[in-house]
């Protein structure tokens, strides 16, 4: 029997990656990366406003043409491959990354009139120009719709759909008015691939809509008009043009249009899956299932879990995204995370290197830190250098290092930062299990787990659990391809369920980090102190007695050093 392949398109912050994946075993046959031509490393920025981060939608079109056609060419080097063996396409993107479009899906950015309007571009996930609007939405939500807020961890983010649309309305009313609607690129790209010319025909992704666009079936989808009207009447108009239903990735967006198919070197009519965000399809590409937490660890960290819809999951305080179907059909998708992770270690190296060559310093710190025993430095850090996404949901928290002495060395501080990330991760896991979602297994993906064995060992020791690594280094792209294989279905040589697809197409690496019992014992003690400091600075109205913290760190240090 001939092999079957699926295409995954992974739209990242600076580039899009196309992969061609063997449907039988999930192995990558070929890939091609296309860096976005616009802006600085793909991001349009502004000298006047550090918060601004936009993208040009033309890059997405050029991106799918080039990356897929090149990946196909590369695949053709393999004699067993021919393009007609490709059975489906899936897409993941960053998000929330919305843009204003016409009813026929034309981005305003494509029109001459708006060529110079930064507001007509895609508002990239990390665009924080809407921070005031986010605060406004949060305040109103807490007063008027507390049940909305319960679903998003109590705070609306400046990175999300409504804050961005509202900010556009405030700063560039013309763009807002001319737009028929706003679309996440996770919806726009699949629709364009299918040649859809009417936005009302688009199946929008539930992964993108809830919680970032406050979509939930409990209140009939997107937020109610009274709420949006209290923010601005014009938002009500936008709401009326949004659909009442969003779809999970079991759904096919449509069939690949002939126009693009020929440019990409693919057969026309291929099924295209509804889009989803990268972290969520990264969960799929890592083989997420009930009881498994997928940790996508890069500059920040995104945790993905699923829990059967039949289990009636309660809201989990501080866990920002619990959305039915956002990861897998038939499951709540649970999304949590840490606002900075690799970024923290990068910051520290940057800070001490003062512009010097960082690479050898990273390596040296990693090696020296690996020689330390848990507790040996007497240091304790808080991993809040970019705020806290879960479970405190508070951007206005900052990082800390305590336990410093005149002997504290750079590699000791470096290690304390890795430990802080692990402690922060454990706080999240503990909160989730506390609310009835069991975590029996942790699979790590993203860049850092492959780069830092020390980090993974610290995680294993802090959690007292085995740390596994996803087999694939490109789990989001793999997850996208899996969605392509599922919308193709078994008749086409794909799969009918995600469970079946993941069973064949995902796996874990042979590298496994086992917890070391004596390390776990020490870390349990330090974690208790982390939790005390975490709550003291992070929980409003908390009364804390922190006097014992420094003493206990010194006790542990003395014990470890003399043992």
Residues at the contact surface with a second copy, assessed by CB under 8 A: 340, 343-344, 347, 351-352, 354, 361, 364, 378, 382, 384-386, 396-410, 413, 536-547, 549-551, 553-554
**Min dist. Cβ of residue 94 to a second copy (A):** 19
Q: Phi, psi (5° rounding) for residue 7?
A: -100, 130
CB 246 within 8 A of CB 215: yes
Distance CA 343, CA 426 (A): 19
**Min dist. Cβ of residue 544 to a second copy (A):** 6
**Min dist. Cβ of residue 524 to a second copy (A):** 21
Which of residues 114 and 384 has its CB atom nearest to a second copy in the complex? 384
Cβ-based burial of 181 (10 A; exposed 0-12, middle 13-18, buried ≥19):
buried
Closest alpha carbon to 211 in 147, 258, 274: 147
**Min dist. Cβ of residue 130 to a second copy (A):** 17
The count of other CB atoms within 10 Å of the CB of residue 472 is 26
**Min dist. Cβ of residue 535 to a second copy (A):** 9
**Min dist. Cβ of residue 43 to a second copy (A):** 17
Closest alpha carbon to 194 in 266, 247, 102: 266
Which of residues 118 and 413 has its CB atom nearest to a second copy in the complex? 413
**Min dist. Cβ of residue 536 to a second copy (A):** 5
Which of residues 112 and 551 has its CB atom nearest to a second copy in the complex? 551
Strand partners of residue 271: 255
Distance CA 90, CA 79 (A): 24
Residues 6+ apart with CB under 8 A from 142: 149, 154
Closest alpha carbon to 87 in 189, 7, 30: 7
Which of residues 157 and 395 has its CB atom nearest to a second copy in the complex? 395
Three-state secondary structure call for residue 359:
helix
H or E stretch covering 370: helix 359-370
Task: Label the pairing between strands 441-445 and 467-470.
Answer: parallel
Which of residues 68 and 340 has its CB atom nearest to a second copy in the complex? 340
Which of residues 162 and 348 has its CB atom nearest to a second copy in the complex? 348
Cα 161 to its chain centre, rounded Å, is 15
Which of residues 268 and 352 has its CB atom nearest to a second copy in the complex? 352
């Amino acid at each position: 029997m001939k092999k079957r392949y699926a295409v995954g398109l992974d739209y990242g912050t600076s580039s899009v990656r196309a992969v061609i994946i063997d449907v039988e075993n999930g192995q990558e046959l070929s890939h091609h990366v296309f860096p976005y031509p616009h802006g600085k490393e793909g991001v349009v920025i502004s000298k006047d406003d550090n918060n601004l981060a936009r993208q040009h939608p033309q890059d997405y079109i050029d991106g799918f043409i080039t990356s897929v056609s090149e990946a196909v060419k590369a695949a053709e080097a393999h004699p067993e491959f021919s393009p007609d063996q490709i059975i489906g396409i899936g897409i993941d993107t960053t998000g929330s990354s919305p843009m204003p479009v016409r009813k026929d899906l034309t981005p305003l950015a494509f029109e001459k009139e708006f060529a110079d309007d930064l507001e007509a571009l895609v508002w990239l996930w990390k665009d924080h120009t809407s921070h005031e609007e986010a605060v406004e939405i949060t305040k109103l939500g807490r007063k008027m719709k507390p049940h909305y807020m319960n679903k998003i961890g109590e705070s609306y983010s400046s990175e999300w759909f409504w804050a961005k649309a509202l900010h556009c309305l405030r700063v560039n009313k013309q763009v807002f008015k001319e737009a028929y609607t706003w679309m996440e690129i996770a919806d726009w790209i699949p629709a364009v691939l299918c040649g859809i010319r009417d936005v009302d025909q688009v199946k929008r992704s539930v992964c993108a809509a809830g919680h970032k666009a406050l979509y939930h079936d409990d209140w009939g989808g997107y937020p109610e008009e009274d709420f949006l009207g209290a923010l601005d009447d014009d938002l009500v108009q936008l709401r009326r043009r949004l659909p009442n239903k969003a779809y999970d990735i079991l759904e096919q967006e449509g069939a690949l249009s002939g126009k693009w198919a020929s440019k990409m070197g693919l057969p026309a009519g291929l099924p295209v899956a509804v889009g989803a965000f990268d972290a969520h399809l990264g969960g799929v590409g890592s083989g997420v299932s009930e009881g498994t937490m997928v940790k996508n660890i890069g500059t920040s960290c995104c945790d993905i879990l699923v829990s059967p819809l039949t289990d009636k999951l309660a809201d989990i305080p501080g866990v920002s995204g619990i959305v039915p179907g956002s990861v897998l059909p038939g499951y709540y998708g649970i999304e949590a995370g840490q606002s900075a992770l690799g970024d923290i270690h990068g910051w520290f190296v940057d800070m001490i290197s003062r512009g010097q060559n960082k690479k050898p310093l990273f390596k040296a710190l990693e090696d020296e830190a690996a020689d330390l025993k848990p507790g040996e430095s007497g240091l304790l850090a808080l991993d809040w250098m970019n705020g806290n996404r879960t479970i405190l949901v508070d951007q206005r928290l900052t990082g800390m290092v305590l336990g410093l002495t005149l002997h504290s060395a750079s590699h000791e501080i470096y290690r304390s930062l890795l430990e802080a990330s692990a402690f922060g991760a454990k706080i999240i896991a503990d909160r989730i299990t506390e609310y009835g979602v069991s975590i029996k297994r942790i699979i790590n993906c993203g860049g850092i787990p492959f780069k830092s064995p020390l980090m993974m060992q610290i995680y294993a020791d802090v959690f007292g659990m085995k740390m596994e690594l996803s087999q694939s280094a490109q789990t989001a792209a793999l997850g996208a391809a899996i969605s392509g294989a599922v919308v193709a279905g078994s008749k086409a040589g794909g799969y009918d369920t995600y469970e079946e697809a993941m069973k064949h197409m995902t796996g874990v690496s042979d590298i496994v980090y086992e917890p070391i019992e004596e390390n776990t014992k020490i870390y349990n003690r330090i974690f208790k102190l982390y939790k005390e400091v975490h709550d003291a600075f992070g929980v409003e109205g908390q009364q804390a007695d922190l006097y014992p913290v420094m003493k206990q760190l010194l006790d542990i240090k003395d014990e470890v050093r003399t043992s």
